[in-house]
Homo-oligomer: A and B are copies of this chain.
Amino acid sequence: MTPELTRDDVSMMILSAKKQSGMSWEGLAEEIGMSPVWTHAASTGMAAMPKEKAELLGQKFNLSADAIELLQEPPSKDWNRDVPTDPCIYRLYEICGVYGPTFKALVHEKFGDGIMSAIDFDMHVDRVEHPKGDRVKVTMTGKFLAYNTW
């Protein structure tokens, strides 16, 4: 195995191959039988792929055995601790900032002391038609985790 191959390299290989193929994330997701959100996250180093999915993607895009193996390792999911400035991503943080305490109040009202898991979690992004202009729809579900007492 070439030691120099990194997870970032593999992400860039996938992005480049996807561009050449002309596929969309939605199309790619369908081909490997997963959701578009997860497919993008796993392709760009934010999730480990199960063996079967890594191999499907590897065949599709002609990845080396090393690259396919790297896709299955738990990546370092580092993200920007400072609120990002790209306007499209920033709006998500603004929503967390403005409605975060509301989210907490409603979770506690419905479940008691605990949190929505960000690990046992799924997310979807869809386009919803609307007469005054189409809307982006984000749907998330996460398992409720109650605090342990001991």
CB < 8 Å: which of B82, B87, B114, B127 contacts A115?
Answer: B87
Query: Which residues of chain B are within 8 angstroms of A92 by Cβ–Cβ distance?
Result: 96, 100, 103, 116
Tell whether, in the assembled complex, residue B98 and residue A87 are in contact, meaning their CB atoms are under 8 Å apart: yes
Copies of this chain, how many?
Answer: 10
Tell me whether A7 is interfacial, beta carbon within 8 Å. no
Say whether, besides A77-B86, A123-B99, A40 and B106 are in contact (CB < 8 Å).
Answer: yes
Say whether, besides A40-B106, A106-B125, A149-B34, A116 and B136 are in contact (CB < 8 Å).
Answer: yes
Chain A interface: which size bin?
35 or more
CB < 8 Å: which of B36, B73, B116, B148 contacts A91?
Answer: B116
Tell whether, in the assembled complex, residue A93 and residue B94 are in contact, meaning their CB atoms are under 8 Å apart: no
CB < 8 Å: which of B35, B103, B112 contacts A125?
Answer: B103
Question: In the complex, which residues 102-144 of chain A have their Cβ closer than 8 Å to any Cβ of chain B?
Answer: 102-123, 125-128, 130, 132-144
- Chain A 38-62 interface 0/1 with B at a Cβ cutoff of 8 Å (1 = within): 1011101011111001000000000
Tell me whether A37 is interfacial, beta carbon within 8 Å. yes
Tell whether, in the assembled complex, residue B102 and residue A37 are in contact, meaning their CB atoms are under 8 Å apart: yes
**Apart from A79-B100, A81-B97, A92-B100: 20 A-B pairs, beta carbons within 8 A:** A3-B15, A26-B109, A40-B106, A48-B113, A77-B86, A78-B86, A79-B98, A81-B83, A81-B85, A89-B101, A94-B118, A106-B125, A110-B127, A116-B136, A120-B146, A121-B148, A134-B144, A135-B143, A136-B142, A138-B140
